[in-house]
């Protein structure tokens, strides 16, 4: 079906879309309208509110100057896909990290000290691919192909952090980005 046929097909449906406000263009030529999406289905991928504390054998890391430690934390990511059959294009989900730094510390924890250890609870219809990869670069957690069954689930990603010997005690903070990349976005 060509683009124009599709647009005309959808035009009737578009009447269902509420255009509740149409304001004149502002000085910067901005036009505002309200869009209401109705029963069209969507894809949502987001962090889930959950515990994300790095622990060593269930305990806070006890860093010493002479011995390293390996701590793990679990991240929950919620995926909700309500798109219709025939309209589910593929996508991948990835995470990336920056270095962890602490005020007064001269030993930042680099992203390559973080690694994805496992991706749990992913349905059999997706391909978890990130296990065993360090976060020195963005790590693809899973890929859902075109027309695959809809995925609505919560996956758990276990991330390990290697705390090298000599790491100064302190409150470290870093940034983790959850990224959604439609497969079609690969130009």
CB 62 within 8 A of CB 56: yes
Residue 162 touching another protein (CB under 8 A): yes
Nearer to another protein, 145 or 181 (CB): 181
Length of the chain: 187
Residue 148 touching another protein (CB under 8 A): no
Nearer to another protein, 46 or 149 (CB): 46
CB 64 within 8 A of CB 153: no
Minimum CB–partner distance for residue 173 and another protein (Å) = 4
Region 78-117 residues binding another protein, contact defined as CB under 8 A: 78, 80-84, 87-89, 91, 96, 100, 112-115, 117
Report DSSP letters for 109-166, one per residue. B-GGGEEEEEEES--TTSEE--TTEETTS-EEEEEE-TTPPP--EEEEEEEEEEE-TT
- Calpha distance 102→73 (Å, rounded): 19
> Which residues face 109 on adjacent strands?
100
- Calpha distance 159→120 (Å, rounded): 12
Which of 120, 123, 134, 145 forms a contact with another protein (CB under 8 A)?
134
Which of 5, 25, 27, 124 forms a contact with another protein (CB under 8 A)?
25
Which of 5, 27, 37, 122 forms a contact with another protein (CB under 8 A)?
37
Minimum CB–partner distance for residue 187 and another protein (Å) = 3
Residue 40 touching another protein (CB under 8 A): yes
């Amino acid at each position: 079906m060509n683009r124009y046929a599709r647009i005309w097909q959808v035009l009737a449906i578009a009447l269902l879309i509420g255009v509740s406000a149409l304001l004149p263009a502002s000085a910067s030529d901005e036009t505002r309208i309200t869009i209401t999406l109705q029963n069209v289905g969507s894809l949502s991928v987001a962090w889930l509110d959950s515990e994300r504390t790095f622990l060593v054998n269930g305990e806070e890391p006890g860093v010493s100057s002479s011995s390293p430690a390996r701590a793990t934390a679990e991240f929950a990511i919620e995926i909700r896909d309500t798109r219709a059959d025939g309209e589910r294009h593929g996508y991948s989900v990835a995470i990336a990290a920056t270095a962890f730094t602490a005020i007064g510390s001269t030993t930042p924890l680099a992203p390559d000290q973080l690694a994805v250890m496992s991706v749990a609870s992913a349905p059999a219809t997706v391909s978890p691919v990130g296990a065993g990869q360090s976060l020195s670069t963005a790590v693809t957690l899973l890929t859902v192909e075109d027309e695959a069954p809809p995925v609505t689930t919560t996956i758990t990603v276990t991330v390990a952090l290697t705390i090298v010997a000599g790491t100064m005690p302190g409150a470290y903070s870093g940034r983790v980005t959850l990224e959604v990349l439609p497969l079609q976005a690969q130009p």
